[in-house]
Chains A and B, each alone.
Chain A
Amino acid sequence: MAPTLLSTEWAMIGVFVVAVILWGLRMRTGAKTMEGAFLAGRKVPGVIASFSTVATNLNANDFLGLTGAVYAVGIIMAHIIFNNSIVLVLVALLLMHRLRRYNVYSLGGWLEQRYSSSVGNAYSIIWTFVWMLFNLGLYIYGGALVLETLLGWNLYLSIVLLSILAAFYTLLGGLGAVVATDVLQIALMFFPLLFVGFAGLDEVGGLSALAEKLPETHKHLWPEETPFGLLPIMLFGMVFMGLSYWSCEAQVVQRPLSARDPEEATISYMGAALWYAIIVPFVIVVPGLVALVLFPDLPSNDHAMPTLVRTFLPPGLYGVAVVGLIAGFLSSADSQINAFCTLFTNDIYRKMIRPDRSDAHYVSVGRVAGVVFTLAAILTALIVSRNSDGMFLFAVSVLATIMPPFGAVSLLGVLWRGATPAGALAGLVVGGATAMGLVVAAVTGELSDFAARHDLTNIITDDHLYLRTMISFLMTLFATVVVSLFTKKKQEVDSAILDTVPLFGSSNRVRVYGVAMLMLTGIAYLFWSQYFA
């Protein structure tokens, strides 16, 4: 039974909703040009962009789903968080300052400059029509589930109300409104959940007691075997997935692209790495483990966080948590809607359908497309609501299929000037076919049969998404390199992009930041390994 909210808690929700609407109205004056609407005029300070990056990436699905995954699998899910911290630094230093320097609207724009329009278009179309639709549906469902679980609201009504709110201020105020509200949302998301984490730890007796009380299968950060296969397979798979995600995911890539300059673009990812190394383990991992100790028989993994919120937060702070979880939904849904409008309007409509129109025309088209997209995502959310358990791992599984080929081609484009347009296209085709083939083999059971026949069950486990990521990433690299060796380079772009831009970072300042962040992540790893070796 969901608790009834107090008048003060309803007032908190009211204040928050009014605030995001005001942001949309206030920012609409700056959202009349394409750069204003889709990239906040490219004037966002790096630190603000880093808050926005974290708020965009962490959403209700993560607070429910990733905490649920920790509840289901154990402390080894912490590797995802620390891996994010490491990979963010690498992608920031290698790719982001480069993308910002070339004033593109999306990764697709850079892929087109570096390789060819075919490669850029492949990215834009797949991201716009496959991933974004599914992902926004998942976000909406996650947000509605929070309202249903914590407030007892009707799931379907919540889906509609949340979608209308997110679309309203995003389409009105553009990325400026999205970034501005992200700053508020990140404060409201993390603040009460830190209380949950520390109150939970206090209840179980601290980190040492938590480690002792966990089941043997859930308490080791460095086991030889994991549910995803041998530990090195999981770790390498996570690295490849992280490299792909932070290079390719349109909504997060928009943050460095909206930064004031290449150095600030790098800082936007570095700042996000700091959050992952220090704070996120306490609001995601600790609650998942505490829930396992205190409530081992929950009906669904995704109920771990809501159960803790209800248990540990008193009235008042409970209201802040509800607002924070709504904020968690909005901060990602708004980014997804804005990213869709950007990709659809600039990379598809302007390039392929109606070139040479005014900015006002494209902004209007973006808004109409955003409305249609939101309606379609509501339908997706309704479908997801019928089969939703373990939604975080399901979303990761979809990403593991479509991202690695683009991640591999993007990073190779930076690191090796010999990569050619034909090579990149071949890499996408081979990598994509490999990823799809592995999905089909997994669904039909062929993969499991193969593992059993060849005694590879400790490598190819039931949860093989990291193995699939690694294989399709490496196959993409292999195909791109082989075909590139025998095909012609795009000379003018190679010299423009690769010769004039430093390989690692845009200044010594950000390189020092990068090294400091990696050392900090190493210290965080050592800290957690003390308790969960």
Chain B
Amino acid sequence: MNREVITMTGKNETESRLGIALLNGAVLSLIGILVLVTPWVTELTDSERRLDNIAGSALLIVGLGLLYWHFKRTKA
């Protein structure tokens, strides 16, 4: 059983499955990209830019990881 999904009805599991990873992965990726883009829309100090780069990259990696997981499970 795919463990990262919620099955809503229990009657037709393949039809009613919804991957929690899909939308949440997309949102985390988008927010990560927005954090990474922020130094381009405002002036930041070096340390501030470094912090944004670390945070944005981490969010993007987690988001993309969730998306990868979702599509891998869906194919399986």
Contacts and interface: CB of A to CB of B under 8 A. Distances in A.
Interface of A: 6-9, 11-12, 15-16, 19, 22-23, 26-27, 29-31, 33, 36, 40-41, 43-45, 47-48, 176, 179-180, 183-184, 187-188, 191-192, 195, 199, 313-317, 319-320, 323
Contacts of A195: 51, 55
Interface residues of B, number: 37
A250 B20 CA distance: 24
Interface string B1-16: 0011011111000001
A40 B8 contact: yes
Nearest to B13: A43
Given A36-B8, A43-B6, A44-B6, A6 B58 contact: no
B51 A320 contact: no
A16 B55 contact: no
Interface SS majority for chain B: helix
Contact of B52 (A30, A187, A316): A316
Contacts of A7: 41
Given A29-B16, A320-B59, A8 B41 contact: yes
A24 to B, nearest CB: 11
A29 B52 CA distance: 39
Nearest to B24: A184
Given A8-B41, A179-B6, A314-B51, A191 B24 contact: no
A-B pairs with the 7 shortest C-beta distances?
A30-B8, A316-B38, A314-B48, A316-B52, A43-B7, A184-B24, A19-B27
B61 interface: no
A199 B24 CA distance: 27
Q: Please indicate which of the listed interface residues B4, B27, B44, B55 has the most CB atoms of chain A within 10 Å of its own CB.
A: B27
B31 A12 contact: yes
A29 B15 CA distance: 11
> Among the interface residues B26, B34, B47, B55, which one has the most CB atoms of the partner chain A within 10 A?
B34
A180 B55 contact: no
Contacts of A30: 6, 8-9, 16, 18
Given A27-B8, A36-B8, A40-B6, A316 B39 contact: yes
24 contacts: A6-B38, A9-B38, A12-B34, A16-B27, A16-B31, A19-B23, A26-B18, A29-B16, A30-B9, A31-B8, A43-B8, A43-B10, A48-B4, A176-B8, A184-B23, A187-B28, A314-B44, A314-B47, A314-B48, A314-B52, A315-B44, A315-B52, A316-B39, A317-B52
